[in-house]
Structure 1
Amino acid sequence: MHHPHESISCDTTGIRKIFLAGTIDMGSSVDWQQNVIEYFKNKGGRWLLFNPRQEHWNGSKAGEMDYQVNWELSHLEEADFIIMNILGTSKSPISLLELGLFAHSKKIAVVCNSTFYRYDNVRITCKRYGIPLYKTLDELLYNEIK
């Protein structure tokens, strides 16, 4: 697991890097990333999860917003695969931005509930660019993580 403000202390050669993109809502949404972490702990294998959620986020700290956005963009680019989980009750504007940025990458799969206010935008974008779209996180993990 790798979070912002942490250094990677191991050799990452041969490790599959996965970015956990999706709803955070400034820390107020359910911590779905923790469920994914548990999944990978039980799966075994060599994985490095990039988790942008910070336990003690302080966006008003000088330079923190620039650092966070640049950390996310760098690690999205570095990742071998992007799991994007958009919760139905969220707004998730940054997730929508990231979906647009990485739609052509062929390394992203999306979970989006049909109750999400921009579900049709997500559905149409995924269909157009051949991005797998799932109803649940379990479905995505079962089908995409080998």
Structure 2
Amino acid sequence: MASKQDTAAQGTPVSGGTASQHTTPPKPSADAEDAAKDKKPGTVSIDQDVEDKDHQLPPHPEPLPPQHPSFIHCMPPKNPAITKNKHSVFLAGSIEMGNAVQWQPHMVKRLHHLPITVCNPRRGHWNTSIIPAKDDMDFKTQVEWELKALDDVTVVCFFFDHNTRSPVTMLELGLLAEKHKVVVCCDKRFWKSGNIHIVCGKYGIPYCETFEGLVGLIMKELKKNDLDVDENGKLLSEPSSAD
């Protein structure tokens, strides 16, 4: 079983240490498998297994609840299917060209029992010939996909892998700090954790230091937006259809 969920108040850290057990990332989603089939020369996998040497990801609860029929896992370049569900979550956080721990598929598994859309920017493969410049259409498509999804979703969750630098993740947090839909997980071992925690405190952003705590913060934010879930994330009633 997963460790007891952390609880958090806005702008205050959640107590609780780092998970003590190693866990293997879940099987890639159908979207990731499709991306793998389409892999072309000159691309790198960002869905490769990454050793969770510091045990940042806790084991999943057993058994995991089944996937909800309305659950959608959306990755670029597919158009974010946000309007099909009333509630949605963007997985903002460390990728580092595939060197960050596989926290995104781990989170997808923790949310897939809900009638929500999860927007995950960690696409299966990345073409190494893409130039990070506004004139590169592939790069521009990826960035614009992320910006649109960040604007449109109900909740944006940030996870900082403490073994990464994650400059884009910090940029996105700064961009959204004044929005009232952000939750953050940042361990003290992250190289700029002090900056992250101060920003969260200033803008009243709920934050924690463990993945399990982040799951709880997402559930609280969804509940604030009228998704009927209990403190453990169990769906109590189906939401009304999206407008």
TM-score normalised according to structure 2 size: 0.56
Which structure 2 residues correspond to residues 87-126 of structure 1 after superposition, within 5 A?
A: 87-126=161-200
Q: Residues 52 and 72 of structure 1 are in contact (CA less than 8 Å); yes or no, is this contact kept in structure 2?
A: yes
More helix by share: 1
Q: Does the residue aligned with 1:57 lie in a helix, a strand or coil?
A: strand
Task: Identify which range, 126-135 or 4-13, moves more after superposition.
Answer: 4-13
Q: Which amino acid aligns with 1:32?
A: W
Aligned to 1:68: 142
Q: Unpaired runs of 5+ in structure 1? A: none
Check 1:92–1:37 CA distance in 2 against 1; reply closer, same or farther (3 A cut): same
Check 1:94–1:11 CA distance in 2 against 1; reply closer, same or farther (3 A cut): closer
- Report how many aligned residue pairs link the two structures: 143
Q: Residues 59 and 65 of structure 1 are in contact (CA less than 8 Å); yes or no, is this contact kept in structure 2?
A: no
TM-score normalised according to structure 1 size: 0.91
Deviation, structure 1 residue 137: 1.5
**Structure 1 ranges of 4+ moved more than 6 A:** none
Q: Does the residue aligned with 2:84 lie in a helix, a strand or coil?
A: coil
User: Hey, what's the Cα distance between the residues in 2 that align with 1:121 and 1:11?
Assistant: 34
Q: Unpaired runs of 5+ in structure 2? A: 1-72, 131-135, 224-243
Deviation, structure 1 residue 70: 0.9
Check 1:126–1:9 CA distance in 2 against 1; reply closer, same or farther (3 A cut): closer
Aligned to 1:27: 98
Larger radius of gyration: 2
Q: Which amino acid aligns with 1:69?
A: V
Aligned to 1:2: 74
Deviation, structure 1 residue 133: 1.1
Q: Residues 112 and 134 of structure 1 are in contact (CA less than 8 Å); yes or no, is this contact kept in structure 2?
A: yes
User: Hey, what's the Cα distance between the residues in 1 that align with 2:83 and 2:153?
Assistant: 15
* Cα deviations by residue, 1:64-101 (Å, 9 ceiling, x for unpaired): 11111111111000111001000111100001000000
Q: Does the residue aligned with 2:118 lie in a helix, a strand or coil?
A: strand
Identity %: 32
Q: Which amino acid aligns with 2:187?
A: N
Q: Residues 92 and 157 of structure 2 are in contact (CA less than 8 Å); yes or no, is this contact kept in structure 1?
A: yes
- State yes or no: 1:55 paired with 2:124: yes
Q: CA RMSD in A?
A: 1.7
Q: Does the residue aligned with 2:205 lie in a helix, a strand or coil?
A: coil
